[in-house]
Structure 1
Amino acid sequence: MTGRSESPDQRLSLADLHHVGVVVPDLERAAAEVERIYGTPVVLFDETRFTCRIRGVEQTVVQRIGLTAGPPHLELLRAVRGSEIWAPVPGIHHLGFVVDDLAGAASEWEQAGAPVWMAGVRRGICPAGATYHRDPLGQVFELLDRALADSMASRLDHSGPIG
């Protein structure tokens, strides 16, 4: 790609949608409401420490998520106080897509005008695991590397529903 107006070679397709992410202030309550309203249980995972770069500044946050069966999954993310990334917004926070080459896809989307807003860092390597992008219309999407998507599915398979 040579210019910002070109479309990335690694186009996103709804057929590749992994999850719809919603940031919520109360994870347990949101999970209970999803199950009550939609009849779909949400598996709540333990807290994890996540190292990332937000607008180029490295930081570590403590995050906790819930996930429904899928794909596509409904991903509930607990709000992180003071974070511009994990702050509640009305409705859907982001759409998450699985890609085979995270660094290549993230670069292509940046060149197309959807810069990396947040990128995971693992053992000093960035991007790792996932990147969040904001497109020119202001919508947020996540690119999720296949290894992380598989790891999430494995955690879902070994967890029980909320109790």
Structure 2
Amino acid sequence: MSVTIDRTTSGRRAPSLPARLSLTPAPGGLDGTWWPRSRALTRELPLLTAALGDLWGRITGITLNPAYWPVIPRWVSVAGRTVDVGWSTEEQDPHGLTLFSADGRRDVLVIPPETRADAAAQLMAGDGIDAPAREAAAERLDARSREEAWETDGGAGPPSSLSRPIGSTGRLPAGQRR
């Protein structure tokens, strides 16, 4: 048996696909819609922040809700600099993402990456759907995705976060145990 190793591609990375965005403002204060290709934030957030940097100014921070993200990095690298990533379960919508820049904050609806292309296109186009309806649709799509993942992954448990909330020291108040 012979083995051939192709070294012509070693050291070269495949070109990154552009971020899938719709920057049409929507009722409820949403500044746009983002449809990531995966739940790998270290791969997805640099594409998003690079795409938005030209439009909204240099993104300096991102806040999200950890409900649907298996791993949350403390920061991501974008064009040789770092962007801080934090999370909040109380102040951040589970289907939202807040981006911070010198120009202020922007809120984006996140369409689950497992969403079918036709359903995602409809949500991204808006089609006259107001923000609460878009968020409810994203919730239904995410619930269906979780159920499908449960079936295909053999009943894996919910994702866990390895980071800490913004402003948190990671320590519990006195007298509380883990």
| TM-score, normalisation: structure 1 | 0.31
| TM-score, normalisation: structure 2 | 0.29
By percentage of residues, which structure has more strand? Answer: 1
Which has the larger Rg? 2
